[in-house]
Amino acid sequence: HAHAGSHRFHMASTLRPLYVSLAIGIACVSLMFIGKRRGNLSSTSSRRVIRPSGVCSPARRLSRNVKTFSLDVKTFPAKKSTVSVAVVIVDHGSRREEANKMLFEFAELYKDISDRSIVEVAHMELARPSISDAVGKCHEKGAESVVVVPYFLSRGRHVQSDIPKLVEDARDEYPSLEITLADCLGMDKMIAQVIEARVSSAIEKQA
């Protein structure tokens, strides 16, 4: 039992930098969409703008992990929109409860580093909450706009077909919300850094 506990602890500690890197990638994607939308929102005088409440500082544990992984958080685009924007992070979904719980943990990490007040998670299939469930929670919390981010590495069938259809269903269910589908994580140098970190770690274990 002690060996199994040690192995789980080692896996958690080695995967955490990956979560940090992916959280930063999603933050960049969502902020990029929000920046592009600002121009459209400013020209529409009839749209009500909500001023965000006080912004909390990122968790101290993030700075430790980022330093370990040598990522430059200063490359984040500035937040330009004052509209209440929510983020929904969507993964595939699993029948294994522990796999689904990991997405909630990742969402908390993303929320810490992005300072976004409304962050929800959704599973594409096999488990709840669904995309519509998550969008509904955003609506209840006062969001005017929602960015749905696929927690996927590549643009496969789920990203190109299944998730867009589910997002369209959510738009029909919540017509008052502006719902934008962001790109998947895809090609990013930070993900390449994660791979290199894993390679380096494997080589060190062999030594």
Q: Catalytic residue numbers?
A: 92
Separation CA 170–CA 131 (nearest Å): 7
C-alpha 145/C-alpha 174 separation (Å) is 11
Within 13 Å, how many C-alpha atoms sit on residue 71's CB side? 28
Q: How far is CA 196 from CA 13, 117, 124, 127, in A?
A: 16, 32, 29, 32
Strands (E), the chain: 85-91, 119-123, 145-150, 178-181
3-state secondary structure of 51: coil
Q: Any idea what the Cα angle at residue 51 is, between residues 105 and 133, rounded to 5°?
A: 40
- β-bridge mates for residue 88, sequence order: 120, 148
